Amino acid sequence: MPALLSEKLIEILNTAKKLLLAHPLCDYCLGRQFSSLCYGAGNDEKGRALKLILTMWSFIWHKESGEIPEILIRLASTGFKPAIKTLQALTEEIPEQSSCYICGGALTKRKIGEIVKSVAEELREYEFRNFLVGTRVPADVREREDELRAVFSIDTGEDIKEDITRTIGAMLQRRFKVPVEYQNPDIVILADIFSETYELQVNPLFIKGFYRKLQKNMPQTPWYCRYCWGRGCEKCNYTGREYPESVSELIGEPALKVFEALSYKFHGAGREDVDAMVTGTGRPFILELKHPRKRFVDLSILEKAVNECARGKVEISSLEYSSRRELRILKNLSPIASKTYEAVVEFDGDVDEEALRRVEERFKDVVINQRTPRRVLRRRADKVRQKKVYYVEAKKLGGNIVKFRIKAQGGLYVKELIDGDEGRTEPHIAEVLGRRSLKIDLSVVEVEYPETKG
Ligand SMILES: [Zn+2]
Ligand SMILES: [Zn+2]
């Protein structure tokens, strides 16, 4: 066993020696070829250790033979100080320094330190719970390293990208005392040490809550002038707008200030008509704030800021921090959040216009108590659901035939809203009309997805 172990040791040193005789390599790039041979040391340390042993070996060689081995000169040419000092001590000429064959001299403690310092300075302006470091490695650097590994049969190396990101990540972790997060980091630092530049990618922040719209004639998201599409014209008094304000702006703009964000996107769970108010508990929404500097704000501050700015127009409540995952859920659920139907109904007698107006009046923003319809009882539990009807529009097609346009919350059984299902749905349309329905032709005409424009 001991003989085998020494053979392995000699093999490692021989490979390091052959590599350095073939190409000048910096500490990082030499150490990286042997990266998997120990834990808890940087590749630069590993490279230095190998260079140091080869320098000592050179010293012994010189003592025994009186010759200066080539490897000592090559070591000195990589800028390795102990090799230079040893050559000086032996009163030998110091060779000219050449840059690292693989990285071209990009990987140095000083350069890495400088980029980390700039990144850290900028990061000080942000609140974040975790981060991730990414990097870009030029293709020719990779090619040279791959080729070298093939030629020298190296199977103990680490990927250069991992080397760089791990090194920078560890330094930032020490400074900020926050962990590296791979799945969902608050901030991604793209550090390119080859061009000595970096970029911060600050991931968005999500806040969920409910809004109530306390006034009519206001859209959920900006509604541009239909004549000029936002450019501004005589018709819109050069505002470019059909309506001066929107729910999304009344919530988003104060949030931008509170979170020092660059922009926002408003996502509502469905959407009401411009002339409809939102009352009760309100409509769920998720606000996506892009590039926020603040992440740890007490949400009651945002609630207060919005509710003061938008007093009498919009009110928000029940704010909580949310996530991209919840936004996906909100988007997936919103098809069932509201639907618009068209129903052509034949009644058992003539209906007059006045009765139809009564229906429209009665079914404006009203909550329906609906017990599970008899026709689905076999598949669904028997219980009472409360579903909202946003509006019913009625148009007479013939003496006893009426076309309805109904917008309602997902999950409402619309046929039963019309015929009442023997009193299991209250209130219902036939009852208000004072007629019985004979035939109902129903179709969904619109499924509303949430607005994604901010
Ligand atoms: Zn290098
Ligand atoms: Zn206009």
Residue linked to tokens 């018709």: 235
CA 143 to centroid of ligand 1, rounded, Å: 13
CA 43 to centroid of ligand 1, rounded, Å: 11
Q: Are both 257 and 234 inside the same structural domain?
A: yes
CA 242 to centroid of ligand 2, rounded, Å: 8
CA 19 to centroid of ligand 1, rounded, Å: 12
**Which pLDDT score is estimated for 445?**
65
Does residue 76 belong to any structural domain of this protein?
A: yes
Does residue 367 belong to any structural domain of this protein?
A: yes
Domain finish residue from 334, 352, 368: 334
Domain finish residue from 175, 202, 229: 202
CA 180 to centroid of ligand 1, rounded, Å: 25
Q: Are both 178 and 251 inside the same structural domain?
A: no
Does residue 95 belong to any structural domain of this protein?
A: no
Query: What percentage of the chain has pLDDT greater than the value 90?
Result: 77
CATH of the domain at 120: 3.30.2130.30
Q: Known catalytic residues?
A: 273
Q: Are both 182 and 239 inside the same structural domain?
A: no
How many angstroms separate the most distant Cα atoms in the chain?
121
Q: What is the DSSP-derived secondary structure letter of residue 5?
A: H
Mean residue pLDDT of the chain comes to 91
Q: How far is CA 409 from CA 134, 172, 227, 326, 431, in A?
A: 45, 49, 32, 20, 21
Does residue 309 belong to any structural domain of this protein?
A: yes
Q: How far is CA 109 from CA 35, 44, 124, 133, in A?
A: 17, 9, 22, 17
CA 44 to centroid of ligand 1, rounded, Å: 9
Q: Report the domain count for the chain.
A: 4
Q: Are both 218 and 238 inside the same structural domain?
A: yes
What's the domain range around 218?
205-334
Does residue 99 belong to any structural domain of this protein?
A: no
Q: Are both 262 and 305 inside the same structural domain?
A: yes
For the residues of 200-260, what is the DSSP string, one character each?
A: EEEPPEEEEEEEEE-SSS--SS--B-TTTTTS--TTTTTS-BSSS--HHHHHHHHHHHHHT
Q: Could you tell me if 210 and 318 are in contact, meaning their C-beta atoms sit under 8 angstroms apart? A: yes
Residue 373 clears pLDDT 70, i.e. is over it: yes
Q: Are both 19 and 83 inside the same structural domain?
A: yes
Q: Grade residue 454 by pLDDT with cuts at 50, 70 and 90.
A: very low
- Model pLDDT for residues 12-36, shown as the tens digit of each residue: 999 999 999 999 999 999 999 999 9
Does residue 279 belong to any structural domain of this protein?
A: yes
Relative to the alpha carbon of 100, which ligand is closest? 1
Q: Per-residue pLDDT averaged across 242-256, rounded? A: 95
Relative to the alpha carbon of 224, which ligand is closest? 2
Q: Are both 355 and 443 inside the same structural domain?
A: yes
Q: Are both 198 and 120 inside the same structural domain?
A: yes
Query: What percentage of the chain has pLDDT greater than the value 70?
Result: 94
CA 58 to centroid of ligand 1, rounded, Å: 23
Q: Quote the CA–CA distance of 266 and 287 in Å, as a whole number.
A: 5
CA 345 to centroid of ligand 2, rounded, Å: 41
Relative to the alpha carbon of 233, which ligand is closest? 2
- Model pLDDT for residues 92-127, shown as the tens digit of each residue: 899 999 999 999 999 999 999 999 999 999 999 999
Domain finish residue from 89, 120, 145: 89
CA 343 to centroid of ligand 2, rounded, Å: 36
Relative to the alpha carbon of 29, which ligand is closest? 1
**Which pLDDT score is estimated for 453?**
35
Relative to the alpha carbon of 242, which ligand is closest? 2
CATH of the domain at 418: 3.30.70.3190
Does residue 272 belong to any structural domain of this protein?
A: yes
Residue 441 clears pLDDT 90, i.e. is over it: no
Asked whether the whole model's pTM tops 0.85, one would answer: no
Does residue 453 belong to any structural domain of this protein?
A: no
- Model pLDDT for residues 172-193, shown as the tens digit of each residue: 999 999 999 999 999 999 999 9
Q: Are both 329 and 219 inside the same structural domain?
A: yes
Q: Are both 375 and 313 inside the same structural domain?
A: no
Q: Are both 400 and 439 inside the same structural domain?
A: yes
Q: Are both 310 and 399 inside the same structural domain?
A: no
CATH of the domain at 252: 3.30.70.2510
